[in-house]
Amino acid sequence: MIRINRRQAIGGLAGIAGITAMPRFSFAQSLPLPSSPVALNIIDVAGNLQLTQAAIEKFAKENPALISKVIFSRAPSPELPAKLKAQQTANRVDIDLVLTGPGAMSDGITQGLWIDVWTKYPDLLPKADEIYHEKALMMQKNFGQNEGVAVVYSPSGPLFEYAPDRVKTVPKNAEELLAWVKANPGRFCYARPVNSGPGWTFLMAMPYILGDKNPSDPINGWEKTWAYLKELDQGIDYYPPGTTATMKEFAEGTRDMIVSTFGWDINPRVLGVVPKEAETFALDSTHWVPDTQFMCIPRGVGDDKVAVLLKLMSYMLEPAQQAYTYDKGYFYPGPAVKDVPLNMAPQESQDVIAEFGRPIYEDLIAKYPVEAPLKPQLLVAAFEKWDREVGANKMNK
């Protein structure tokens, strides 16, 4: 997801059960800490800094012997893998840590861009099956694999956000949604899935909602889904490059209905990007496709920095730092680890959820099942097929 805030507009896991928990400030003899502070270059391609920057800066402040400064930057998710690959080929990697969602994470796994931290440094990270809650652990095992360290979690979506003054009949199921879109051409849109959390969850949930023969096989098992998306395309003007654009167009009245998620509903209303009175609905037979964001270390980063980054990763998984991820509802609820209730969050976060959260969300989360997203290689294949056969000439890349 692309963040919208005041600072910037808006496979199984091998061996994870055997990871040994260690105190935060211990380190393996094979990977000593640097003798002088290092500068860290952290790039965010998922809007993750909205959730984690405060805790990262707190770690740097608490550890001046390890970190001299932290440089933050942001980039579109689709652009990062090629940039990293070129740096690694030239043996000049200048990105130390990547904060990523599903797009760059998947591409990085398929291209071998990341260090497999869980298997290479098992004594420098917490024991995953002891700290993560059940659904986040499922995402870590099935999606993060050996390379990504899950740092935030949301049941995500798909939800559908609409303007109640302009949408008088709310679709209840996939058939009614299709009929509404075709009857109201240009009034519905969703962003290109490879660079959008809502677009990504919508794409992967439809095989479950439509009853496709194999939701885990986008190439051979999504016959109903691809047919549905192509028919839906008839009522869509274009596919924005990211979720931010869909929210702005919705707020401006260009669109009456868009694909959303729990966080993308709450946070833009908090920030005033979307009117507070906007409403949401979920389709009958919805299956939630959770979203998780990961911390990844590119191959080619020096051992001195890796040692510091592993400490930072462990720190970010502590409950006190996880409580920051409630934020302003951006990745609702946010924490990936166990036992981090809302009352641990900063008071501002508690107030935001009280005012802009929707009590019905807890019921919806409990009502519908949660499914594991596609494995990285299959997710990349799904993105490519969507780009080629659905988005085609209607994408603003």
Strand 279-281 to strand 159-162: parallel, antiparallel, or no bridges (unpaired)?
antiparallel
pLDDT in tens, 355-366: 999 989 989 999
> Tokens representing 140?
């870590």
**Is the alpha carbon torsion for 223, 226, 230, 233 positive or negative?**
positive
pLDDT at 396: 67
> Tokens representing 367?
């009502």
Task: Say if residues 244 and 10 touch (Cβ distance below 8 Å).
Answer: yes
pLDDT at 143: 81
**Is the alpha carbon torsion for 120, 121, 127, 132 positive or negative?**
negative
Q: What percent of the chain has pLDDT over 70?
A: 92
**Sheet with 334-335: strands ordered across:** 67-74, 38-44, 97-100, 289-296, 149-157, 334-335
Residue 242 class from Cβ within 10 Å (0-12 exposed, 13-18 middle, 19+ buried)? Answer: buried
Q: Which of 307, 259, 298 is nearest to 280 (CA)?
A: 259
Better-predicted residue by pLDDT, 20 or 164: 164
Q: Which of 352, 343, 372, 309 is nearest to 115 (CA)?
A: 309
Peptide bond into 158 cis (omega under 30): yes
Task: Say if residues 271 and 264 touch (Cβ distance below 8 Å).
Answer: no
pLDDT at 320 over 80: yes
pLDDT at 77: 85
pLDDT in tens, 231-272: 999 999 999 999 999 999 999 999 999 999 999 999 999 999
Q: Which of 146, 143, 140 is nearest to 119 (CA)?
A: 146
Q: Which of 200, 227, 195 is nearest to 211 (CA)?
A: 227
- Torsion angles phi and psi, residue 395, rounded to 5: -95, 140
pLDDT in tens, 114-161: 999 999 999 999 999 999 999 999 999 888 899 999 999 999 999 999
- Torsion angles phi and psi, residue 330, rounded to 5: -60, -35
pLDDT at 386: 97
Q: What percent of the chain has pLDDT over 90?
A: 81
Alpha helix locations (H) across 346-392? 347-356, 360-367, 376-386
- Torsion angles phi and psi, residue 96, rounded to 5: -95, -35
pLDDT in tens, 56-91: 999 999 999 999 999 999 998 888 999 999 999 999
